[in-house]
């Protein structure tokens, strides 16, 4: 037995609640550390540079998102088949490669250094699936995943604040800043990966309540898609829209705030911290909902509520009834109310509801690949088709599309999955009745079946 196996065996004896808290904090810290290698460059403005009539920073965003997108397509197979024993070493190797790409970006002159943002983005696109693999399929997944997912909100603003501080206080060169920001997070990254490696595998009770998670081969992935195709299509439409606007906000938040005359270095962390706490509380409460179908329905309502909040806040802002800060807070909260569940608990509860032996990484990476493909496409459309529109105006128009189309698709998704679950239960009742003369209702079956507990 290796030293890490011995430590893991000791950790497995901890109280389940303590183990969950350790995993949640470690996952949050790990993904926040990764963000330092991914999003620090967005704190720069790189003003006054254009190539082929496209702003230099837009080229940087496009290059990274293309790499990230291709990574998501690759991840459909890679994450679905990855062996849990290799997660830690994969995470360190992939982030290490991305950091070296930032070093090359710092010293290779523009525009030739754009390619290194592509090389930076590709390995980082696989990190989410590897980290979530530690957490899925457990009875406390909601809590752990909620804490992990607020890193998507918190880390973005936190890293930008650090990047802007390096630029404005320490006068670091814009090209060197991304690499140096990553350097600050090297030791925390190593610590959090080590802590995640101490996580024991899901126990028997986890498997009973949330369905066993396992690698999936090509045939199993195809069968999964065929089984849930209508719901997956609706889910992808919603997720693509949310990813596009969340990415616009993430990559061009500095420019959006500048459109409204706000240039504070702390505004990013202040707003995103508020959003993080609200989303964390809302999602963590789902751990109290034991029945998977009920929790899955509540998640849908959470997403629908996010779309409504985005639409209402944008209308109020357009009518000058609320301030830019209030609107950006409410619109950001609405976006993340929709976006975060898909990255954390939507697919986990979906698998548990239908008791389907599979893993979250596969379906998550299908949605992610489509989402980031949409994100990079919209950047080209904006820069080539509407280059003179400000990022603030573009963001305002885009979130209204999310509110309307996303809201409608979310309602249809809820209806589809409820009908699908109802049909599955009716089939089980008929099968059981054919085997026994004892009569019982569908509610009796559901109350004794772990897929609905």
Q: Are 150 and 266 in contact, with CB atoms under 8 Å apart?
A: no
Kindly state the helix (H) or strand (E) to which residue 312 belongs, with its residue range: helix 292-318
Predicted confidence (pLDDT) at residue 451 exceeds the cutoff of 70: no
Of the pLDDT bands very low, low, confident and very high (cuts 50, 70, 90), residue 50 is confident
Sign of the torsion formed by the C-alpha atoms of 4, 6, 8 and 10: negative
Q: How far is CA 337 from CA 184, 242, 310, 329, 345, in A?
A: 30, 10, 10, 12, 12
Of the ranges 108-117, 294-303, 327-336, 423-432, which one carries the lowest mean pLDDT score? Answer: 423-432
Residue 139: predicted pLDDT: 87
Predicted confidence (pLDDT) at residue 446 exceeds the cutoff of 70: no
Q: How many percent of the chain have pLDDT more than 90?
A: 57
pTM for the whole structure:
0.79
Predicted confidence (pLDDT) per residue in 169-192, tens digit: 999 999 999 999 999 999 999 999
Predicted confidence (pLDDT) per residue in 241-250, tens digit: 999 998 888 8
Of the pLDDT bands very low, low, confident and very high (cuts 50, 70, 90), residue 204 is confident
Please, where are the H alpha helices in 82-176?
Answer: 87-107, 114-124, 127-135, 141-168
Q: How many percent of the chain have pLDDT more than 70?
A: 93
Residue 154: predicted pLDDT: 84
In this structure, what is the dihedral angle of CA atoms 181, 186, 188, 191, given to the nearest 10 degrees? 170
Of the ranges 39-53, 54-68, 116-130, which one carries the lowest mean pLDDT score? Answer: 39-53
What domains are there in the chain, each with its CATH number?
14-198+206-452 (1.20.1250.20)
More confident residue, 342 or 250: 342
Q: Are 425 and 431 in contact, with CB atoms under 8 Å apart?
A: no
- 253-274 mean pLDDT: 81
Q: What token pair was written down for 46?
A: 């790189």
More confident residue, 281 or 106: 106
In this structure, what is the dihedral angle of CA atoms 36, 37, 41, 42, given to the nearest 10 degrees? -60
Predicted confidence (pLDDT) at residue 230 exceeds the cutoff of 60: yes
Residue 288: predicted pLDDT: 87
Burial class of residue 298 in the structure, from the number of CB atoms within 10 Å of its CB (0-12 exposed, 13-18 middle, 19+ buried): middle
Q: Are 113 and 26 in contact, with CB atoms under 8 Å apart?
A: no
Predicted confidence (pLDDT) at residue 128 exceeds the cutoff of 50: yes
- 397-419 mean pLDDT: 96
- Structure letter (DSSP) for residue 51: E
More confident residue, 48 or 114: 114
**Closest CA relative to residue 202, chosen from 137, 145, 142, 148:** 137
Predicted confidence (pLDDT) at residue 232 exceeds the cutoff of 50: yes
Of the pLDDT bands very low, low, confident and very high (cuts 50, 70, 90), residue 426 is low
Region of 211 (left: φ > 0; alpha: ψ -120 to 50; beta: rest) is: left
Region of 372 (left: φ > 0; alpha: ψ -120 to 50; beta: rest) is: alpha
Q: Is 358 helix (H, G, I), strand (E, B) or coil?
A: strand
Sign of the torsion formed by the C-alpha atoms of 421, 423, 425 and 428: negative
Predicted confidence (pLDDT) at residue 358 exceeds the cutoff of 90: no
Sign of the torsion formed by the C-alpha atoms of 65, 71, 74 and 75: negative
Spatial distance between the Cα atoms of 283 and 145, rounded to a whole number of angstroms = 9
Backbone angles phi, psi at 114, to 5 degrees: -60, -35
Please, where are the H alpha helices in 319-359?
Answer: 324-344, 346-354
- 355-364 mean pLDDT: 84
CA atoms within 13 A on the CB side of 414: 18
For the chain, the average pLDDT equals 88
Angle at 43 between CA 126 and CA 46, to 5 degrees: 110
Predicted confidence (pLDDT) per residue in 56-70, tens digit: 998 998 999 899 999
Of the pLDDT bands very low, low, confident and very high (cuts 50, 70, 90), residue 424 is low
Residue 16: predicted pLDDT: 92
Of the pLDDT bands very low, low, confident and very high (cuts 50, 70, 90), residue 431 is very low
Residue 101: predicted pLDDT: 98
Residue 344: predicted pLDDT: 75
Predicted confidence (pLDDT) at residue 430 exceeds the cutoff of 60: no
Residue 269: predicted pLDDT: 75
Of the pLDDT bands very low, low, confident and very high (cuts 50, 70, 90), residue 447 is very low
CA 228 to chain centre: 21
Residue 427: predicted pLDDT: 52
Predicted confidence (pLDDT) at residue 345 exceeds the cutoff of 90: no
Neighbours of 390 (CB within 10 A): 13
């Amino acid at each position: 037995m290796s030293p890490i196996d011995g430590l893991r065996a000791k950790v497995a004896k901890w109280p389940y609640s303590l183990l969950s808290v350790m995993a949640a904090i470690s996952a949050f810290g790990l993904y926040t550390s990764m963000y330092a290698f991914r999003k620090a460059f967005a704190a720069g403005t790189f003003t006054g540079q254009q190539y082929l009539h496209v702003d230099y920073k837009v080229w940087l965003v496009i290059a990274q998102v293309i790499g990230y997108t291709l990574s998501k397509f690759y991840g459909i197979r890679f994450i679905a088949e990855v062996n849990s024993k290799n997660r830690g070493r994969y995470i360190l190797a992939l982030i290490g490669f991305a950091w070296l790409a930032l070093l090359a970006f710092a010293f290779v002159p523009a525009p030739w250094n754009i390619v290194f943002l592509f090389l930076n983005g590709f390995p980082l696109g696989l990190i989410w699936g590897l980290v979530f693999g530690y957490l899925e399929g457990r009875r406390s997944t909601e809590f752990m995943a909620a804490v992990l997912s607020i890193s998507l909100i918190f880390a973005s603003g936190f890293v930008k604040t650090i990047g802007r501080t390096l630029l404005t206080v320490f006068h670091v060169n814009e090209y060197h800043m991304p690499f140096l920001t990553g350097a600050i997070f090297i030791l925390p990254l190593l610590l959090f990966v080590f802590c995640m490696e101490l996580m024991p595998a899901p126990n028997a009770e986890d498997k009973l309540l949330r369905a066993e998670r396992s690698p999936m081969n090509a045939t199993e992935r195809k069968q999964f898609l065929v089984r849930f195709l209508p719901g997956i299509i609706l889910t992808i439409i919603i997720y693509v829209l949310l990813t596009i606007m969340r990415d616009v906000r993430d990559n061009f938040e500095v420019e959006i705030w500048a459109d409204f005359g706000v240039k504070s270095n702390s505004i990013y962390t202040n707003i995103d911290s508020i959003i993080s706490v609200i989303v964390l509380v809302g999602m963590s409460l789902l751990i109290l909902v034991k029945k998977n179908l009920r929790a899955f329905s509540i998640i849908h309502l959470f997403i629908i509520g996010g779309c409504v909040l985005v639409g209402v806040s944008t209308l109020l802002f357009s009518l000058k009834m609320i301030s830019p800060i209030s609107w950006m807070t409410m619109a950001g909260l609405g976006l993340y109310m929709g976006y975060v569940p898909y990255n954390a608990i939507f697919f986990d509860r979906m698998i548990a509801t239908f008791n389907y032996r599979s893993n979250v990484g596969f379906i998550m990476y299908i949605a992610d690949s489509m989402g980031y493909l949409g994100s990079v496409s919209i950047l080209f459309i904006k820069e080539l088709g509407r280059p003179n529109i400000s990022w603030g105006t573009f963001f305002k128009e885009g979130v209204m599309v999310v509110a309307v189309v996303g809201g409608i698709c979310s309602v249809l998704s809820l209806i589809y999955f409820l009908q699908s679950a109802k049909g599955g239960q009716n089939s089980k009742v008929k099968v059981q009745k054919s085997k026994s003369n004892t009569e019982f209702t569908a509610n009796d079956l559901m109350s004794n079946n772990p897929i609905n507990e």
